[in-house]
Structure 1
């Protein structure tokens, strides 16, 4: 198992969390701080996720925030995990990411999802239609053709400027089999959201690998898996910090809108038995504990998934504790080599 962990690359998924008592401006400062710190630690990429109408997530204008992070770092790849393509015109996304790639050449990733990243009412406000993402493959084809006109049989009078003929890696993101199969068929890299859909992880990765057709983008499958990791000096401290993540998902279940809450000593005073069981299933792949505990669980996770890359998600209330968690994970990977 150690061999699997020694070969894996580490990356970051940041939701730019707005914590209780703070503002979006504070969240952006912490996001840049985390990006700069993880770059020094040797993380491979730093992705930001598009969400809307969520009081605890500040990354709604994802392309803008990617530019901010890329400008404040030097080497780490910066991208979207992801842009929810049905929320946007493909031309707009091509222009946005063409601009980013022109400003920060060789450092921009474009991860794409088909969910709205929000509730249905907000999705309608974004899309001005009841589109539920069923046309995602067509939107993807259009977007890819703006970057590479050779992918389209039509001579396009509309061009993405900047964007056309730029080499921007496109990833498909998913929490089920749909995007896994599509990514495989198109020969694109695939990222699975195990951090909130653990039960579907292995079936989706298997489907991706079985569906894979080599392309000019990839000669072999390349899979990245998102995983919640909360590491601290002791198991007890880590589980205390993890109560913030648990409360975040509990608020989603209860349709409660609030910033990211501070940790609590006893979650049993907050959730019902039903809610506890539901959250334990949804957060089942989360890795929480001391350095020794996290190392053991990461080794097992890397062996089970055979992921090429792990994208670490750490929803921790205190920023310094969050930085330390990412540091511990980096130490584990370095020591396994």
Structure 2
């Protein structure tokens, strides 16, 4: 191993590694089958020695099966035995804080010491979904207040008690969108932030969070989780091919207003895209990282070094489930996780 390789390996070993699964539907699959694949992936991720496995929340999206993250988290936790399980995240404007506290209280009671409570502020992508959820911009603007109300149910003392949450300790994380970094810092909460195509914006938000962090009951120091869409394969070309379906689905969501099921990459590359579709497709690809195992080890180490991340949260982009698992295996090997050797 060269000195440079040794330095990269040292950086990769210094951070925690986790996975966020969004339960993306692909053409020919069913929502039920995709949800079972999520549970199966969680077992494999645990066996590889990663730290967390999180699931997401999306509503009314034809290409995503994960609409009830606390329910899916319960299934994942039941199928695993060590790995931390949580949400990335529960979109708090869509829910009553009392109900969220009760749900996480049940999860923590059933799986003590393994549950994380990732919280976001996003609302439905289209107006009809926002109306069905009863959530809109007004609720999103109250994100900080909703967090305070939610956390208050765990400490108790109010006129309404959230059982079995009261007295339990479920680590909360704030997903940074808009002012999320400031909300997390003011409350002394861990921050989860996506690597943006313009990485300077990510770095600026992290710096702002660290500078304003107020130590409290949930942490004495800032804790930063950087989420990144990644594909790692035997070659750069194969890694790039894996990310084609999601980039195309994202482009379609911008032109059609809905994120569709993933299509096979070969069919997409054979298609003649309009200039508008091509622009959105390339924008979607710009925020993701991809490459062969050795190259991506350096790329991910560089990301960890620039951000000072305590943890990297991988979102996996590929049409085939086996390719998503292959990315995790390659990252785990590069990070020197014991189970991956």
Q: Same fold (TM over 0.5)?
A: yes
Q: Is the 8 A contact 1:175 1:201 kept in 2?
A: no
Greater shift, 327-336 or 201-210, is seen at 327-336
Residue in 1 aligned with 2:22?
A: 15
Residue in 2 aligned with 1:333?
A: 335
Pairing partner for 2:76 from 54, 60, 69: 69
Cα distance in 1 between the residues matched to 2:161 and 2:268: 56
2:286 counterpart SS class: coil
Greater shift, 113-122 or 222-231, is seen at 113-122
Cα distance in 1 between the residues matched to 2:205 and 2:326: 31
Shift of 1:277: 4.2
Q: Is the 8 A contact 1:35 1:69 kept in 2?
A: yes
RMSD: 2.2
Residue in 2 aligned with 1:316?
A: 318
Shift of 1:214: 1.1
Greater shift, 270-279 or 65-74, is seen at 270-279
TM-score w.r.t. length of structure 1: 0.92
Shift of 1:285: 3.7
Structure 1's 117 and 311: CA in aligned 2 closer, same or farther, altered over 3 A? farther
Pairing partner for 1:136 from 140, 143, 154: 143
TM-score w.r.t. length of structure 2: 0.91
In structure 2, runs of 5+ residues without a counterpart are: 1-6
Shift of 1:287: 1.5
Cα distance in 2 between the residues matched to 1:74 and 1:196: 36
Deviations 1:74-111 (A, max 9, x none): 00000010000010000000000000000000000001
Q: Is the 8 A contact 2:92 2:121 kept in 1?
A: yes
Q: Is the 8 A contact 2:98 2:162 kept in 1?
A: yes
Structure 1's 204 and 279: CA in aligned 2 closer, same or farther, altered over 3 A? farther
Kindly report which structure 2 residues correspond to 1:1-337, keeping only aligned pairs within 5 A, or say none: 2=8, 3-127=10-134, 131-149=138-156, 155-176=157-178, 178-194=179-195, 198=199, 200-254=201-255, 255-264=257-266, 267=269, 269-334=271-336
Cα distance in 2 between the residues matched to 1:268 and 1:71: 42
Cα distance in 2 between the residues matched to 1:77 and 1:192: 19
Q: Is the 8 A contact 1:189 1:223 kept in 2?
A: yes
Cα distance in 1 between the residues matched to 2:326 and 2:136: 43
Cα distance in 1 between the residues matched to 2:53 and 2:268: 32
Q: Is the 8 A contact 1:184 1:208 kept in 2?
A: yes
Q: Is the 8 A contact 1:4 1:306 kept in 2?
A: no
Cα distance in 2 between the residues matched to 1:128 and 1:306: 35
Q: Is the 8 A contact 1:170 1:189 kept in 2?
A: yes
